[in-house]
Amino acid sequence: MNAHTAPLVTLAAVLAAALPAFAQDRPIATDKDKADTVKVTVSGDVVLDYVYRSSEITAWTDSESNNTGAGAAATSDPENTFEGHIAARIDVQLSNKISAVLEIGTKRVDGSPSATPPDGGILRWGEQGALDIDLREANVTVADFLVEGLKVNLGLSNWTFDIRGNGSPFAFAPRRSQTIERNFDSITALVNGAETADGRLIEAAFVDENEPVGGVISFAPPQGAWSIDIVILPATIEGGAASEDEALYAVDFWYSLESLGKGSRIGIIVALSAFRSDSLVAGTDNEDSRVWTIGGGASLNFMDGALNVYVEAYLQRGQVTEGALGDVDAAGRAFQLGLVWRHTVGNPLPIWAGLNYFFISGDDDTAADDEANRFGAYEGVNDLLILEDHYLGFDWDSNYTGFKISAGTTFSAAAERDLDVAVVVGITRAAEEVGAAPNEEDQLGNEVDLKVKWALTKQFSFRLSIGMLFGSDVLENAMDSGVPGSNPDAEENASLWLLGFDLKF
């Protein structure tokens, strides 16, 4: 235990001691001088997953055979690991207007990859430091601040811009995503040359999640159909001096269309991302990267909620960096549309099916130019286990297009509606070919996932997930380091298995 974690361990012990009292419905007694404390709630969760990744995945993700972020196509092995997190949380309500959240525990991922765990990447249980106690959440919310309907949230921010409202924001989920700079200023996000297959996949090893600090000011007038958020996150990534920080500033506007269908709404956002660009163009050290993202969308419900139709689109403008030929301007774009249909049959048996088309631009340049066409965002989409999952797979989130078809149902096994089963099929490719001529590829492959969740109780559940990727010419090209036939073990297929449990208390 080090000096940084000792206070958090002490706090965890205090929380553990308080749990028996809550089990007997006894309130926590607070200091008599703090009479404004109305309610204190203690909760927590434990997530433990057994994960199998085939060698085609461990070659690029942070793994035992590749924990340097450099790729290990020739030496990678299949791996079986235990991953997850534990957390204890305190929710405090002060009067009717002020509340606070504090959560401590372990993390699933932390920092950039390093040859000396646990300095970065996936925190595998059993490794040194994987169970270190850290701060996970801390923020304060003041409701009806100055005027009715005005709310202020300060601290670690969980703000998202989620058109669909399903926990998978297409462009803005800064709390649980990686840095936006990753898509503009990494060893592979080239403006002056085409992306390579192995270079693009190397980014999968840089697994991390942001901890943006700042404030969100929200206003929703009583009895009104609209609301607005002003997002001020000057330390999305803290770099010391202000010029070294990555910052996000945004204004979003929501308008409810309840007359069309319950939950229907439209949203519009204007956001500014400020960061330092070091290696996008060789020889530059630019502290004035300013990228604007403008967009929005709609989520519309019809037939008493049985049919949901959604669409959203984004454009990026501004200056990414300075180069030998002048400023390099942001020119990325992203778009998705889809529908979800829900129905109940039998006695009863709820079923659902969805169709999604998406496009996220990439760079196709083979010579220096003045545009960065690759779209960069704080995305939170994890539908496909291998291609998209932030923790488990490649997290391929730019230069990406395709269709996703999904369906599922809920069975009654040991209890009523306790078994959820879903299947997701992704038919994908790179929006622009990756690899050096003449060995250019755009087939990311077809992925089939099975996801099962069995809730033994409302607080304890088992999960089984299986992902299979087929026909990925991009992956095979990467395993060959762009030279077909150079690696006899190169495959265009990959597989991933997960068996885990969630316990909430």
**What pLDDT, on the 0 to 100 scale, is given for residue 441?**
84
274-295: average pLDDT? 72
If one counts every other C-beta atom within 10 angstroms of the C-beta of residue 7, the result is 12
**What pLDDT, on the 0 to 100 scale, is given for residue 329?**
84
Q: How far apart are CA 95 and CA 37, in angstroms?
A: 7
Query: How many domains does the structure of the chain reveal?
Result: 1
Residue 13 makes CB contacts below 8 A (sequence gap 6+) with none
Query: Is the residue at 107 inside a domain?
Result: no
Residue 489 has pLDDT above 60, yes or no: yes
**What pLDDT, on the 0 to 100 scale, is given for residue 403?**
98
**What pLDDT, on the 0 to 100 scale, is given for residue 267?**
98
Torsions phi, psi of 161, nearest 5?
A: -115, 95
End-to-end CA distance of the chain: 26
Residue 284 has pLDDT above 70, yes or no: no
Burial of residue 229 (CB within 10 Å: 0-12, 13-18, 19+) is buried
Q: Which domain holds residue 285?
A: 140-495
Nearest of 350, 250, 231 to residue 296 by alpha carbon: 250
Query: DSSP string of 470-492?
Result: E--HHHHHHHTTTSTTS-TT--S
Q: Is 140 in a helix, a strand, or coil?
A: strand
Query: Is the residue at 500 inside a domain?
Result: no
pLDDT > 90: what percent of the chain? Answer: 52
Q: How far apart are CA 81 and CA 48, in angstroms?
A: 10
Residue 348 has pLDDT above 90, yes or no: no
Structure tokens at 308: 């949901």
Angle CA(167)–CA(58)–CA(72) in degrees, nearest 5? 135
Nearest of 202, 200, 194 to residue 436 by alpha carbon: 194
Label the pairing between strands 371-372 and 326-330: parallel
If one counts every other C-beta atom within 10 angstroms of the C-beta of residue 280, the result is 22
**What pLDDT, on the 0 to 100 scale, is given for residue 381?**
94
If one counts every other C-beta atom within 10 angstroms of the C-beta of residue 178, the result is 22
**What pLDDT, on the 0 to 100 scale, is given for residue 181?**
77
Query: Is the residue at 151 inside a domain?
Result: yes
Beta bridge partners, 469, equal 447, 494
Query: Is the residue at 396 inside a domain?
Result: yes
**What are the pLDDT digits (tens) for 139-174?**
999 999 999 999 999 999 999 999 999 999 999 999
Angle CA(95)–CA(138)–CA(62) in degrees, nearest 5? 155
Nearest of 406, 336, 332 to residue 376 by alpha carbon: 332
Structure tokens at 62: 């942070």
**What pLDDT, on the 0 to 100 scale, is given for residue 176?**
83
Verdict on whether the full-model pTM lies above 0.85: yes
Query: Is the residue at 226 inside a domain?
Result: yes
**What are the pLDDT digits (tens) for 298-323?**
999 999 989 999 999 999 999 887 65
Query: Is the residue at 64 inside a domain?
Result: no
If one counts every other C-beta atom within 10 angstroms of the C-beta of residue 128, the result is 9
Residue 187 has pLDDT above 50, yes or no: no
Query: Is the residue at 110 inside a domain?
Result: no
Label the pairing between strands 307-323 and 349-360: unpaired
- How confident is the prediction for the chain on average, in pLDDT? 84
Measuring CA to CA, how many Å separate 101 from each of 98, 135, 137, 248?
11, 11, 7, 22
**What pLDDT, on the 0 to 100 scale, is given for residue 178?**
82
- 208 or 53, higher pLDDT: 53
- 481 or 28, higher pLDDT: 481
Residues in the chain: 505
Structure tokens at 488: 């006899």
413-433: average pLDDT? 92
- 76 or 324, higher pLDDT: 76
Query: Is the residue at 409 inside a domain?
Result: yes
CATH number at residue 431: 2.40.160
Torsions phi, psi of 18, nearest 5?
A: -80, -20
